[in-house]
Chains A and B, each alone.
Chain A
Amino acid sequence: MTLLGLALRDLRARPAQPLLAVLLTALAVALLAALLSFADQFERRMARDAAGVDLVVGAKGSPLQLVLAGVYHLDIPPGNIPLAEVESLRRNRLVAEAIPLALGDSFRGHRIVGAGHEYIALYGGRLAEGTLYEEPMEAVLGAEAARNSGLRRGDRFHGAHGLGEGGHVHEEDSYEVTGVLAPTGTVLDRLILTPVESVWWMHAGHAEDDAAFEASRREVTVALVRYASPVAVALLPRQINAASALQAASPAFEMARLMTLLGAGRDVLAALAGLLLITAGAALAAGLMAALAARRYELAVMRMLGAGRATLFASVLIEAAAIGLAGALAGLVLGHAFLAGLNAWLSSAGQPLVAVWHFAPWELSLPVLALAASLLAGLWPAWQAARSDVAAILARG
Chain B
Amino acid sequence: MSAPLVSVCGFVHCYPGAGELAVPDFELAEHGRLLLLGPSGSGKSTLLMALAGLLAPSRGSVRIAGEDWRGFSGAAADRRRGRLIGFVPQEPHLIDGLSVADNVRLAPFLAGASQDPARRGEALAILDALGVSECAGRYPHALSRGQQQRVALARAVANRPPLLLADEPTASLDDAACAVALDLLFAAAERVGAGLIVATHDRRVQAHFPRRVALGAPSTPGAAQRQIPVTPAPGAGGGGRGDQ
Q: Is B110 touching A302 in the complex (CB atoms < 8 A)?
A: yes
Binds A, one of B4-12, B90-98, B208-216: B90-98
A45 on the interface (CB 8 Å rule)? Answer: no
Q: Which residues in B have their C-beta under 8 angstroms from that of A6? A: 97-98, 106
Q: How far is the CA of A390 from the CA of B102 in the complex (A)?
A: 22
Q: Is A301 touching B102 in the complex (CB atoms < 8 A)?
A: no
Q: How far is the CA of A301 from the CA of B168 in the complex (A)?
A: 16
Q: How far is the CA of A13 from the CA of B99 in the complex (A)?
A: 11
Q: Is A305 touching B98 in the complex (CB atoms < 8 A)?
A: no
Q: Which residue of A1, A306, A395 contacts B81 across the interface (Cβ within 8 Å)? A: A306
Q: Which residues in A have their C-beta under 8 angstroms from that of B159? A: 306
Q: Which residue of A11, A307, A395 contacts B78 across the interface (Cβ within 8 Å)? A: A307
A32 on the interface (CB 8 Å rule)? Answer: no
Q: Is A1 touching B49 in the complex (CB atoms < 8 A)?
A: no
| Binary B-proximity of A308-336 (CB < 8 A = 1, otherwise 0) | 11110000000000000000000000000
Given the known inter-chain contacts A311-B110, A395-B45, please indicate yes or no for A300 contacting B93, CB distance below 8 A. Answer: yes
Q: Is B110 touching A391 in the complex (CB atoms < 8 A)?
A: no
Q: Which residues in A have their C-beta under 8 angstroms from that of B95? A: 10, 13, 298, 301-302
Q: Which residues in B have their C-beta under 8 angstroms from that of A302? A: 95, 106, 110
Minimum C-beta distance from A278 to chain B (A):
29
Given the known inter-chain contacts A10-B95, A300-B93, please indicate yes or no for A306 contacting B78, CB distance below 8 A. Answer: yes
Q: Is B97 touching A304 in the complex (CB atoms < 8 A)?
A: no
Q: Which residues in A have their C-beta under 8 angstroms from that of B79? A: 306, 308
Nearest CB in chain B to that of A9: its residue: B97
Q: Which residues in A have their C-beta under 8 angstroms from that of B82? A: 305-307
| Binary A-proximity of B85-119 (CB < 8 A = 1, otherwise 0) | 10101110101111000100111011110010000
Minimum C-beta distance from A305 to chain B (A):
4
Q: Is B46 touching A395 in the complex (CB atoms < 8 A)?
A: yes
Q: Is B97 touching A1 in the complex (CB atoms < 8 A)?
A: no
Q: Which residues in B have their C-beta under 8 angstroms from that of A390? A: 49, 54
Q: How far is the CA of A6 from the CA of B112 in the complex (A)?
A: 15
Q: Which residues in B have their C-beta under 8 angstroms from that of A303? A: 54, 78
Q: Which residue of B55, B74, B111 contacts A305 across the interface (Cβ within 8 Å)? A: B111
Residue of A297, A304, A307, A309 contacting most chain B CB atoms (<10 Å): A304
B52 on the interface (CB 8 Å rule)? Answer: yes
Q: Is B98 touching A9 in the complex (CB atoms < 8 A)?
A: yes
Q: Which residue of B49, B91, B98 contacts A395 across the interface (Cβ within 8 Å)? A: B49
A394 on the interface (CB 8 Å rule)? Answer: yes
Minimum C-beta distance from B166 to chain A (A):
12
Q: Which residue of A13, A14, A306, A396 contacts B112 across the interface (Cβ within 8 Å)? A: A306
Q: Is A297 touching B96 in the complex (CB atoms < 8 A)?
A: no
B201 on the interface (CB 8 Å rule)? Answer: no
B83 on the interface (CB 8 Å rule)? Answer: yes
Q: Is B46 touching A391 in the complex (CB atoms < 8 A)?
A: yes
Residue of B46, B83, B93 contacting most chain A CB atoms (<10 Å): B93
Q: Which residues in A have their C-beta under 8 angstroms from that of B48? A: 394-395
Q: Which residue of B46, B78, B85, B109 contacts A1 across the interface (Cβ within 8 Å)? A: B109
A44 on the interface (CB 8 Å rule)? Answer: no
B155 on the interface (CB 8 Å rule)? Answer: yes
Q: How far is the CA of A305 from the CA of B96 in the complex (A)?
A: 16
| Residues 5-28 of A at the B interface (beta carbon under 8 Å) | 6, 9-14
Given the known inter-chain contacts A1-B106, A397-B91, please indicate yes or no for A304 contacting B52, CB distance below 8 A. Answer: yes
| Residues 145-189 of B at the A interface (beta carbon under 8 Å) | 155, 159, 167-168
Given the known inter-chain contacts A305-B111, A305-B155, A391-B49, please indicate yes or no for A298 contacting B93, CB distance below 8 A. Answer: yes
| Residues 24-69 of B at the A interface (beta carbon under 8 Å) | 45-46, 48-49, 52, 54-55
Q: How far is the CA of A395 from the CA of B54 in the complex (A)?
A: 11
B75 on the interface (CB 8 Å rule)? Answer: yes
Q: How far is the CA of A309 from the CA of B87 in the complex (A)?
A: 18
Nearest CB in chain A to that of B152: its residue: A301
Q: Is A301 touching B89 in the complex (CB atoms < 8 A)?
A: yes
Q: Which residue of A1, A301, A307 contacts B93 across the interface (Cβ within 8 Å)? A: A301
Q: Is A306 touching B46 in the complex (CB atoms < 8 A)?
A: no
Q: Is A306 touching B111 in the complex (CB atoms < 8 A)?
A: yes
Minimum C-beta distance from A4 to chain B (A):
12
Q: Which residues in B have their C-beta under 8 angstroms from that of A13? A: 95-97
Q: Which residues in A have their C-beta under 8 angstroms from that of B167? A: 394, 397
Given the known inter-chain contacts A309-B74, A395-B46, please indicate yes or no for A12 contacting B97, CB distance below 8 A. Answer: yes
What 18 additional pairs, Cβ within 8 angstroms, besides A304-B52, A397-B90? A1-B109, A10-B96, A13-B96, A297-B91, A301-B87, A301-B89, A301-B93, A302-B95, A303-B78, A304-B54, A304-B85, A305-B155, A306-B83, A306-B107, A309-B74, A310-B75, A390-B54, A391-B54
Q: Top 8 closest A-B pairs, CB basis?
A: A306-B82, A13-B97, A395-B45, A306-B111, A391-B49, A9-B97, A308-B78, A297-B93
| Chain A interfacial positions (CB closer than 8 Å to B) | 1, 6, 9-14, 297-298, 300-311, 390-391, 394-397
Pairs across A and B, CB under 8 Å, 28 listed = A1-B102, A6-B106, A10-B95, A11-B97, A13-B95, A297-B93, A298-B93, A298-B96, A300-B93, A301-B93, A301-B95, A303-B78, A304-B52, A304-B81, A304-B87, A305-B82, A305-B155, A306-B83, A306-B107, A308-B78, A391-B46, A391-B54, A394-B89, A395-B46, A395-B48, A397-B90, A397-B91, A397-B167
